[in-house]
Amino acid sequence: MKIALVSPYDFTYPGGVANHISALEHYFTLVGHEVKVIAPASEVVPAFGDRFIPIGKPRPIPASGSIIRVTISLRLASTIKAVLDKEKFDIIHLHEPFMPMLCSAVLRFSNTANVGTFHAVHGKPGYNFGKPISTIMLKRRVRKLNGRIAVSKPAMEFARKYVPGNYTIIPNGVDIDLFSPDVSPIDEFCDGKVNILFVGRLEKRKGVSYLLEAYKRVKQEIPNSRLIIVGPGTRLRGKYEKKVKRNSLKDVVFVGFVSCDELPRYYKTADIFCAPAIGWESFGIILLEAMAMGKPIVASNIEGYAGLVTHGVEGLLVPPKDVGMLAQALITLMASQSLRQEMGARGRVKAVDYSWEHIARRVLDYYVRVLGEPPWQKRFPEFRDTSTSV
């Protein structure tokens, strides 16, 4: 098959959708399919070579407590038409298919089978963002969507409010070879302190302010501890660093952005992984990475996280914004090495089921299903589904 994977977001900026698409591209190519990634890009994407097609210049736009980097150009039509005419894709897989402007425009001009994956659970992305898509236009483009995938039940429930229809849930995956317990830790943090790790963009919704408040209590109970904060973000980092200084908090380390290749070493260094997000998470990719590394988790009890981590099994779930419960959960795990090891081991076992090889196979099977339904079965008779099962 010739497959297009389309992202609305700047492909040079780290994010869950870009990582998701990169993993699918890798495994699809590995098994012999011809794959192109289409996305806006603020820089050259050398890793993909001619398998990457940049369309549009991304711009940072505030949206629902975060920053999205999308192209908002209204002059993409001619470029998109030229690419589609040249490439003649068998299937086009759009991630957030109604997010302006690239995905929405590709869907508009596509004349082949179209699959959409819905990642979000907040902010109404693409549906009322500056009202770029009218109700009539949305209905027209919905009709061109031949398949609907959601990464989780919360993502499916959110998408159905705006795009009714049948959905198949295929979650995010994890590279279990990259995120392997066999990697070496960061030497400077291997000094006997109990390390708590946070990974994520420094945005309000990620809950770092609550984690810092909780860590004040943790530090009083367990002085031999450290909090390591990994992730990009400049505006709030200064605010958080001032808070640390104002409260005379010791052993709080702001690492900043870490490359994907280096990130597993930080997970390896951690004794506990903490994700205190206050909401709006459709799926806990960072939780999955920590589980693959065999680390116990303390996380907010929000839908996107509770669908992956079972309280008392792979970690502990606490109410979002509850500093007292967050601190107590951290202290509970820090006080028991055996409990940390048990939860970490169970997390590693579960993570194997989410390997990208397995997830990519499920996506390919879904393509086959879509191509086996009218009108695509006439074009691809080898994909016709003759089974009688439901």
pLDDT for res 153 = 92
pLDDT digits (tens, 9 = 90+) for 228-276: 999 988 889 999 999 999 999 999 999 999 998 999 999 999 999 999 9
pTM of the model: 0.87
Residue 65: predicted pLDDT: 62
Class of the CATH domain delimited by 2-173+356-383: alpha beta
Q: Residue 329 corresponds to which tokens in the numbers above?
A: 């959960």
d(CA 60, CA 66): 10
Gap between the terminal Cα atoms of the chain:
25
Scanning the structure block, which residue is given the tokens 């790790």?
Answer: 197
3-state secondary structure 256-293: ECCCCCCHHHHHHHCCEEEECCCCCCCCCHHHHHHHHC
Quick: pLDDT tens for 43-67.
Answer: 988 889 999 999 999 998 887 667 8
Tell me the C-alpha to C-alpha distance, in Å, between residue 286 and each of 199, 305, 343: 7, 10, 16
* Series of mean pLDDT values for 10-residue runs along the chain (390 residues): 97 89 96 97 89 94 79 93 97 94 94 95 53 60 92 92 93 95 96 97 94 97 97 90 95 95 97 95 93 98 94 98 98 98 98 96 97 69 40
CA distance 369 to 358: 17
**Where in the sequence of the chain do the CATH 3.40.50.2000 domains occur?**
2-173+356-383, 187-352
CA separation for the pair 253, 213 (Å, rounded): 15
Listing DSSP states for 170-224 in one string gives ----B-TTTS-TTS---GGG-SSPEEEEEES---GGGTHHHHHHHHHHHHHH-SS
Residue among 158, 177, 193 at smallest CA distance from 355: 177
What is the homologous superfamily of the domain 187-352 according to CATH?
A: Glycogen Phosphorylase B; (3.40.50.2000)
Q: Name 252's bridge partners.
A: 227
